Structure 1
Amino acid sequence: MTELAPRIDPPMVADEATMLTAWLDFHRSTLALKCQGLADDQLRLRSAPPSNLSLLGLVRHMAEVEQHWFQRVLLGTELPGGIFWTEEDEDGDFNNVDTADVAHDFAAWRAEIDAARRAAEGLPLDTVAERPRRGQEVTLRWIMVHMIEEYARHNGHADLLRELVDGSTGD
């Protein structure tokens, strides 16, 4: 359920597009690894009040982030609402995990990763996104770097959450 492609160390020598893609895939797989082998209730476990962070919430959030940057911004696709958030609850990706369907949510995340890969496939890194960010142009290169940063930051959260769940630490 929680598995993506096996985690592969990014190459130490490669062209820029290959390097960015490899690092993004590495971080995607790292989040899956942090969730691997846990029961649904363990994936829903919150960190410490008042935080609403959980491993499942991070997965749901990253599905939203993948969709936002690759579908909405890069491709300019108009989508109604979010996958997990609503206008009434903009943090629904984190807030509404207590009764969430874990298998469904992981499938949604994997589907958004697949859609992101298709969206970026074959595009030069200097491709300007269809929809600007706060009125400023953004390139695919910027999106890739931002996604690596987003995953890396949240994988730090995932490290702490996994240690809370069962004491596991590591990469």
Structure 2
Amino acid sequence: MTWTAPEVPRNEPPMVSAERASLESWLAYHRATLLTKCAGLTAEQLALRPVTSSTLSLLGLVRHMAEVERWWFRILFDGQKDLDDLYCPDEDPDGDFDRAAAATAEADFAVFASECELADRAAAGRSLDETFPHPRRGEPIDLRWVYVHMIEEYARHNGHADLLRELTDGVTGE
């Protein structure tokens, strides 16, 4: 039997809330939005690359965002330098997209869920003002910047997911 991406609950962020609660709820909303774009598709559909000039697939986006969650929250912010990249070793920096395959879809979704949970743990109880050096610029950035960047990253890739989903089976949505 072919694995199918499950339906996921998606809660609207509150209209009024404290800064931390707002950042956390918007990040959770965008995480769920990506999974909503995948819900109901088979592993084979998730691995489709409907734009022939690109290696983008819905599964590739899930893998990429698992990688990004790990990178920003755990490796850079929390200092877990012993962690390896999930899908993008130095010799294959686009492995999250290029190696996305139907055979690993269920496992890749589990990795995504785990990385989101571990990212939340890494940030739990930590000040939004806590800083660490930006990996390319070297200047300090804070945890608040990571949340805003992750919300932006998801928003951009959720737009890609909209198009990929429509090209895959014609479904459109929010």
Q: TM-score range by the shorter chain?
A: over 0.9
The one of 112, 116, 132 aligned to 2:134: 132
Shift of 1:13: 0.4
**Whole-Å Cα distance in 1 between the matches of residues 42 and 67 of structure 2?**
23
Residue 26, structure 1, aligned to residue 29, structure 2: yes
**Whole-Å Cα distance in 1 between the matches of residues 39 and 54 of structure 2?**
22
Q: 1:44 maps to what in 2?
A: 47
Q: Report if aligned partners of 2:6, 2:40 keep a CA contact under 8 Å in 1.
A: no
Residue 91, structure 1, aligned to residue 98, structure 2: no
**Whole-Å Cα distance in 1 between the matches of residues 96 and 169 of structure 2?**
23
Please give the TM-score of this superposition, normalised by the length of structure 2: 0.92
Shift of 1:87: 1.6
Q: 1:69 maps to what in 2?
A: 72
- Partner amino acid, structure 1, of 2:135: R
Shift of 1:153: 0.2
- Residues 147-168 of structure 1: per-residue CA shift (max 9 Å, x gap): 0000000000000000011100
Identity score, percent:
51
**Whole-Å Cα distance in 2 between the matches of residues 74 and 156 of structure 1?**
26
Q: 1:120 maps to what in 2?
A: 123
Q: 2:15 maps to what in 1?
A: 12
Which 5+ residue runs of structure 2 have no aligned equivalent? none
- The DSSP-based 3-state class of the residue aligned with 2:28 is helix
Aligned CA RMSD, in angstroms, stands at 1.5
Please give the TM-score of this superposition, normalised by the length of structure 1: 0.94
- Residues 129-162 of structure 1: per-residue CA shift (max 9 Å, x gap): 3x43321111000000000000000000000000
Shift of 1:99: 5.2
Which 5+ residue runs of structure 1 have no aligned equivalent? none
